[in-house]
Structures are given as C-alpha cells and as structure tokens.
Structure 1
Amino acid sequence: MDYNLMREFADSWGLVAMALFFVGAVAFAFRPGSRGQADEAARIPLKDD
C-alpha cells in the first residue's frame, strides 16, 4: 500500500477508533456494579492463603 494512503487512514479513522476505544474503556471501568469487583481485586495482594 501507499504510505500516504495509510497515513491518511491513520489520521482520520485511526483517531476515531482510538477515541471510541477510550470511551468504551472508561465506560466499562465505571459501569454500575463494578465497585465490588474493584474492591475485591484491590484486596488480592493482601490475602494470606
């Protein structure tokens, strides 16, 4: 493929894809009901098995 074509694609749709991924990751992290799972994961290093 031509370098300029790939660069144009990355400049336009690549940015859109990265922005959508970021918004999805933030929405997933702060979804309702995830507080308990986050607290449990935070206590894993402190468990004494």
Structure 2
Amino acid sequence: MDTYSFLRFLADSWVLLLLTLFFIGVLIFAMRPGSKPLHRDAAESIFRNEKNPASSGELEVK
C-alpha cells in the first residue's frame, strides 16, 4: 500500500471518527449546565467599560 492510499484510508475512517467525537465533545462541553453564567458573562462583556463596570451580581442565572 502506498503512502497516499494509506493516508486517504486513515482520513476517511479514523480521523473522521475522531473529529466527529471531538465536535460532539465540544458541543457537550459548551452546553453543560454550569456554563450558562460564563457564556452570559462573555456575551455581555462587550457592553462593559471603565466608567460603568459590570458588578459580580450580574453574573447570576436569570
């Protein structure tokens, strides 16, 4: 088996499986129950400035 055929077989089977599992893992990590305050903080960070900083009480889950 030449190198090209081997790498193509590897990419078509195992690497595709690994990348799919990685993608599903990232989705599960992003959607886990405890991450909602972190995502809300990241989404609202664009609206903060030095004159009116966000307080720590605004990070609560609403």
Scaled by the length of structure 1, what TM-score is found? Answer: 0.91
Distance, in Å, in 1 between the alignment partners of 2:16 and 2:3 is 19
- SS of 2:38's equivalent in the other structure is helix
Alignment of 1:1-49 (within 5 A): 2-49=3-50
Q: CA deviation at 1:41?
A: 0.5
Q: Which runs of 4+ in 1 moved over 3 A?
A: none
Question: Structure 1 unaligned runs (5+)?
Answer: none
Question: Structure 2 unaligned runs (5+)?
Answer: 51-62
1:21-48: CA deviations, max 9, x gaps?
1110100000111110001011111001
Larger radius of gyration: 2
- Aligned-pair identity (%): 39
Q: CA deviation at 1:5?
A: 0.4
Scaled by the length of structure 2, what TM-score is found? Answer: 0.74
Q: How many residues align?
A: 49
CA RMSD of aligned residues (A): 1.1
